[in-house]
Each structure stands twice: as C-alpha cells, then as structure tokens.
A and B are shown apart, each in its own frame.
Chain A
Amino acid sequence: MAHTETQDTTTRRDFLYIATGAVGAVGVAGMVWPFVSQMQPDASVLALSTTEVDLSPIAEGQIVTVQWRGKPIFISHRTPEEIKAAENVDVASLRDPQPDSARVKQGKDQWLVVIGICTHLGCVPLGHQGEYHGWFCPCHGSVYDTSGRIRQGPAPLNLELPPYNFVSDTQIVIG
C-alpha cells in the first residue's frame, strides 16, 4: 500500500501530475483554437475586402452608395455650398469635434467618403435630408451635416470614415 507523503516534500508524482496536466492543457488549447478560428471571416470573405470605385459618373451634388465588406459606403460629390457649410462650423461646438479637413483627402474636398451606418444603432441614414442637409437617420432621428458629423439626435459619433485612397483623380480603392 502507498504511504501518504507529507505535504512539504515534492514528490515524483507531483511532478508527473503537473507535467501531464500541462501537456494536456496545451493539447486541448491547440484543438480548441481551430474551432474558434473557423468562425472568423474565411478566405472567400477576405478576398472581398477591397472595393474599387470609379468616381467619374458621380455628378456634383449627388450621393452614391456602394458596398464594401457588406456595408453601405456613401460617396458624396459635394457642391461648393456644401463644402462651405461644412467648413464654417465652430468645431468646439460639435458633439464629436472634428474639422471638415480631417474628414476628406487634401485637395479632394469635394469628395466625402463615409460609412453609411448611423453610429447610434446601425441603421442607414437618408441623404440630403435633415436640418443640416447632410443625412437624417429615420430610425431614431439623428441628424448629420454635409461632412457626415453628428449634429442632433441620439448618435454619439460622426459617421465613420473607411480607409481609402485615390489611385487616380477619378478612382478610389476602399479598404
């Protein structure tokens, strides 16, 4: 019969217990990871993660919606009045203070590209509507200006900017 080891000595069995447990834990973790990872976007989804847009057909004053990663992207070809309205705002008075210049590419301030998802609860706002003639969200009444900044209503933040670049004067790549 085994005799009971006193607690203050480390036995060979203690070592084997911990070593076995450690190897087992690594094995289980190694097997759990694939089952977690399989729910992440797969290769066929990642292949769609950039979208090219030709801007030339978009007339001044027009807002076009394109899809990027399953989300609506608003591309607004702003009129000089709209640009002026966006620039002549006291930035400090905004809920989410951001100058218009930080929301467009330098020298391309007629083009505003924003993610068309209301920062309140995810609805798609309507263009050229609301008090500031930017966007108005029909779900809970958030009002955005011509720079896509939140001005009234429950939304906490400005419309988000997607990562994008001009590859030429009339073409952008989103993502």
Chain B
Amino acid sequence: MTLMTMIMKMSEGLGKTCAIFFLTVLFSLPLGMIVALLRMSKNKVVSAVTRFIITVLRGTPLMLQLLAVTYGPYYLFGAGVARNKLIPVVIAFSINYAAYFAEIYRGGIESIPVGQYEAAEVLGYTKMQTFMRIILPQVVKRIMPSVTNEIVTLVKDTSMAFTVSYQEMFTIGKQIANSQTSFMPFLVAGVFYYLFNLIVDRVMGRVEKRLDYYKG
C-alpha cells in the first residue's frame, strides 16, 4: 500500500473524527455549566452527589467510560449495541469532558470577587441578570486558556474511539497498521492531529484576543 492510499483511506475517517470533536464540544460546554452549578448548589446532597460523579468521571479512564456507555446497556439489560456507534461515543465524550469543564467553570466562577455580586445586588440586578451580565462574561475570559487546553486534548482523545471500533481516522489507521505491519499510519495520524490542533490553536487564539479589550 502506498503512502498516498494510506492517507486517502485514513482521510475517509476524518469526517467521523470531526463529528466526535464538534458534537462533544457542542454538548460538553453547556453540560459542564449545568454540572458546575449543581456542584456549587447550596443543597448539600445535590452538591455531594455531583462532586462524587465528577470524581468518578475524572478518576477513571475515558476508555473505560467509552466501553461502559457503548456495551454497558447490552451487558446490563441485554439491550442491543447501538448500530451507529457515534451516539454512545459522543455521549461518553460529552459526559467526560463536561466533568472537566465543570471544574474549570467552578474555578472561574469562584475567582470572581464577591464585590461584583454585591455591586450588582445594590444596583438592583436580579440574580439571573447578575450571573448572565456580570459574572459569566468575566468567567469566560478567565477560563479561556484552560478551555483551550481541554479542547486541544479532546482532538487527540478522539482517537480513543478505536476501543469501540468506531471507524474514525485513528481506528482506520490502526487497522491498516495491523494489516500492513507498518508504522506509517501512526505517523500519518500524528500529522493529522497536529494540523487539526494548529487550526484549533488559531481559532482559540482569536477568541482570546477578542476578549482582550479589558483587564481584570
């Protein structure tokens, strides 16, 4: 197999790699905010349960979580394995990344000085207005570097989908590597991920720059 055919074959999986990436970003970012708010809930039971779930999601391998979401329903209830593996894969990724984003959000929210809340309260902002207008925009700016970090990691983590044989780029590459006993597909995969992250870096850099109009 020539290098060109390898690249062509692996490119066919790039769409699925992108699907995992974009859908996970789309779902995990807002889900993380919900988890963060539950984690900071004044209700001690809610916050303790959320905290426990976060520790499980962050404390066990993503690979294990992928297997659990994909095959768990079969072993537990005898349900069929999803025909389109994209669904369990995106669910597992979104939940896992939401746990990480939740902790980033929490750190960001807790870093906002209490004086911001007090100033808004005295000026008659409602709780909702305070959060949406005063707190959240400042949190977004503060957490941008950490979020970029997670997103860069996500690009590379999409390769983990091979554990459930979802035919994304890396899974195809691994299959070629096995059948051709060649290391070449892994190099190709490495270049793909690097280029992908180069774009991610550019985009996030631009977002950070747009938030640069103020300090503090």
Q: Do A and B come from one complex?
A: no
Interface residues of A, Cβ cutoff 8 Å to B: none
Which chain B residues have a beta carbon within 8 Å of chain A's beta carbons? none
